[in-house]
Amino acid sequence: MKMLLTSGGVTNPTIRDRLVALLGKPIVESDALFVPTAQWGQPACSPETVWRSTADAWPGQSGLCGLGWRSVGVLELTALPSIGAERWQPWVRAADVLLVDGGEAIYLTHWLRETGLADLLTTLPNLVWVGVSAGSMALTPRIGRQFTDWQPDGSDETLGLVDFSIFPHLNYPGWSANTTESAHRWAATIPGPAYALDDQSAVSVTDGVVEVVSEGQWELFNPHGRRR
């Protein structure tokens, strides 16, 4: 699986160009499945925010679903156990890209495991995963205690399909918990490489090659929280 792990989505031409490169063809020729599941585990989200993301109806923003895909469908992970793998797995196999929205990363991780989608992903080398915030964090080994909203007393461990962690929305206006200083404190608790990304930045992963694509601000920390 190829990955484009973003903080705020496909927010600039540099990130969009990398998405097209990962797809290996134009967006207009690609079929997408949108995964809103992480929102249900995040107290700040609601049925309205799920609808806005699915309908690409955020004022002044172009979301994942509005990038110009040949087709877009919704894959709600919480529904999958009730319909059987023989029905939903062909949908995933036929897709060019999964668009995985933000919300709560531990909740999303739970449903990726519960459905078996986490195991299926490792068998699909050409599938592109585009994550936003929690949709990116779920693929990392750890997210940090401050990001566990669904089960605050539980583990902060996620799927570990990559070997680095992600601090999203770096210096987002009005978010006091997402300052550079907060990112440094967070990185000191993460026992491995850790990226802090603003909403103009992303991490691309292809065949084990990790590269930051950005028109904004980002930092890479080592296991002790010092910038590399």
User: What is the model's pTM?
Assistant: 0.94
Given this structure, which CATH class describes domain 2-221? Answer: alpha beta
Beta-bridge partner residues of 45: none
- C-alpha closest to that of 117 among 154, 151, 159, 149: 159
Report pLDDT for 222: 67
- Mean pLDDT, rounded, for 83-102: 97
Q: Output the CA torsion 139→134→63→196 (10° steps).
A: -90
Strands 71-74 and 97-100, by their bridges, are unpaired
Residue 168 has pLDDT above 50, yes or no: yes
Rounded to a whole number of angstroms, the distance between the first and last alpha carbons of the chain is: 27
Tell me: pLDDT of 71 over 80. yes
Residue 41 has pLDDT above 50, yes or no: yes
